[in-house]
Amino acid sequence: MRQVILDTETTGLNPATGDRIIEIGCVEMVGRRLTDRTFHYYINPERDIDAGAFAVHGLSREFLSDKPVFANIVEELIEFVDGAEVVIHNAAFDLGFLDNEFALLKRPPFRGFASKVTDTLLDARQMFPGKRNSLDALCERFAISNQHRTLHGALLDAQLLAEVYVAMTRGQEDLSIDLIDYTMGADESGQMKALPTKLKLMTASPEDCELHEKILGEIAKASKKDLAWSSVGTSTM
């Protein structure tokens, strides 16, 4: 399974009022493992940056003035995402901006290029109802270091989200039963070796049986009840 973990930074909060994408970062996972493929661009929004947004990501209009406009990176973005499951934290926000950028270019919605969209914020709210489920909170909950994250950045946040997503969806792969090496005792062809037919039978000594009965008696006395296994006694020993 191929997955693309995606994040954006924007000029503000609402594409309907003219806000635009100014950074997009994606990392690729195949079989739940990160590959070396990434997609990352700073984008010239051709408009001012809201003060509140600048405080979050630190990207100024001056810095972005020589960066490509969205139309110049759209084909590469489509090629990177096409057919993959796209994983986003608070997907409604990023998809709203992406679909708006595609609409401005008279293209079909961005989400149509993904085989599936997974929103880790919605999943986290189901897993941890009533708790903080921001990316920072999830990093702390899953012991994922984000100390190098002083400001939001699309590529860095996508990389952190990839780790969070794997931790959230780990399921049974962490259970110790999966650590059992089922090849132990197998021959070179992988077939299990037959158990030896002559097994040594060890029985309890009379002294062990007597001590066992004594302990059972003390338990019965302390509980003031007949023990459920008292009928078995030592008849099989």
| Structure tokens, 132 | 């903080």
Match 């100390």 to its residue by tokens: 147
152 flagged as catalytic: yes
Q: Are 54 and 48 in contact (CB under 8 A)?
A: no
Q: Say which residues have a Cβ less than 8 Å from residue 124's Cβ, sequence separation at least 6.
A: 133, 138, 168
What b/e string do you get for 114-133 counting C-beta neighbours within 10 Å, with b at 16 or more? beebbbbbebbeeeeeeeeb
Q: Which of 57, 89, 152, 212 is catalytic?
A: 152
Q: Are 28 and 4 in contact (CB under 8 A)?
A: yes
Q: What angle do CA 23, 84, 68 make, to 5 degrees?
A: 25
Rounded alpha-carbon distances, angstroms, from residue 225 to 67, 218, 219, 231, 234: 82, 11, 9, 13, 19
Query: What residue type is assigned to position 18 of the chain?
Result: G
Active site residues: 152
